[in-house]
Amino acid sequence: MTHNKVLIVYTGGTIGMVQDENGSLHPFALDRIYDAVPQLRACDYGIDSVTLDNIIDSSNMTPSLWVDIASIIEREYDHYDGFVVLHGTDTMAYTASALSFMFAHLNKPVVLTGSQLPLGMLRSDGRENIICALEIASTRLALVPEVCIFFMSHLYRGNRSTKISAENFDAFQTFNYPSLARVGIEFSFKEHLFLPTDRQPLQVNKQFERRVAVLKLFPGIGPEVVNALLETPGLQGVVMETYGSGNAPTDAWFIEALEHAIERGVTVMSVTQCKAGAVKMRQYAASCDLDRIGVVGGGDMTIEAAVTKMMYVLGTHHGEPEVVRHLLETPLRGEMSMG
C-alpha cells in the first residue's frame, strides 16, 4: 500500500527552539521532531525532513536562501505529496510571496508555518501549527496547489499574507483575500478560492534582482531623502508606499524626481499603505501625475508581495520595460485582484 509523504524543510525561527536542562533556548535537531511533537507518531503519512545548512532567525532571510528552499522542493517534488516549510514569522510573508513567484505550475501544497512561542515551551503554539500544516500538506483532506501560510486556525494564501502581531498567536492576516481554510474541530477548505491546477511540469525561476528599494511616503518627506534613494547607484526598481488609494504629494520636486528616475530606467510601482484596499490610479487628482509619468499601479498587493514580485519580474525580464510593466500589473499567482 502506498501512503502519502510530506517533506519538512526546516529553516529556523522561534518554532525550532527547545529548552535545555538549564532553561536556555536552542534550535532543535529535526530528527527529534517526534520527541518535540509526540502526537505526530499517530499520523498515517510519512514525514521526512531536511534542514538548511544554517538555521536562521528569519530576519537574516535572503533571496539566495529562497533559492535554496525552492531548490530542495524542486529536487524532491516528485517524491512527496506536499511540503511544510518551518520558518520564523518575521519574514515568513516575504518568503511565501517569493516562493509563490518562483514556482510556476505548482500542483502540490507548500505550507509555511512557525510559531510565536518555541516548541519546547509548555504553551507553544508550534505543535498545533506543525500538525495542521502537515495535515494540509499530506493532501489527504484536500489538494491546495499553492504556497500558503498556516497559522493558528487559518490557512492563508502566502502572497496575500502579512504578519500583523508580534504577540498574539493569531499573527497573520490576508486583508484583501479570504482565508483558504478555517481549522476548528474540522478542516473547512474553501476550494473555490484555490489557484487552479494544471498538468504542466513544475518550473522554478531562480533569478531575483536585489537592487530594489521601498519608498514609504509620510507628510514632510523631503527632497534629500527622496533624491538619495532614487539616485542609489544601480537602482532598478522602487516600490512606493503611497497613501489611501494611491495618492502622493503633487509638489513639482517630488514628481520630477520620480520622472527622472523612470527616464533612467528605474521601475516604480505604487502600493497602498492601507492594510486593506487597492491603488486606483487617477481616482484622485493626487495620483494623476504618478500615472502620467509612468508609475505602475500595484493594485491590492501587500508590500511583501510587491517587493518580491518586483525582484522576481526584474530578475527574469531585465531590460524589457514593457514586459516588466505588464507582468507587474497582471496577477501571476493570485497575489492581486483583477481590475
Residues identified as active-site: 14
Which residues are registered as beta bridge partners of 216? 241
CA distances from 254 to 18, 102, 229, 261, 301 (A): 51, 34, 12, 11, 24
CB 111 to ligand ASP: min, Å: 16
Least Å distance between CB 50 and ligand ASP?
18
89 binds ligand ASP (CB under 6 A): yes
Residue 14 interacting with ligand ASP (CB under 6 A): yes
Q: Which is nearer to ligand ASP, 114 or 237 (CB)?
A: 114
Measured from the CB atom, the residue of 66 and 194 that comes closer to ligand ASP is: 66
Q: How far is the CB of 88 from ligand ASP (least distance, A)?
A: 2
Is residue 126 at the binding interface for ligand ASP, with CB under 6 A as the rule? no
Site string for ligand ASP, 49-88 (x = CB under 6 A): --------xxx----------------------------x
In order, the DSSP letters of 275-298 are: SSS---TTSSGGGHHHHHHTPEE-
φ/ψ of residue 55, rounded to 5: -85, 140
| Min separation Cβ 91 and ligand ASP, Å | 6
Collapsed DSSP state (helix, strand, coil) of residue 162 = strand
Are 94 and 61 a contacting pair, CB within 8 Å?
Answer: yes
What are the grid coordinates assigned to 275, written together? 492594510
Vertex 297, ends 295 and 303: CA angle to 5°? Answer: 105
Q: Enumerate binding residues for ligand ASP (CB under 6 A).
A: 12-14, 57-59, 88-90, 114, 116
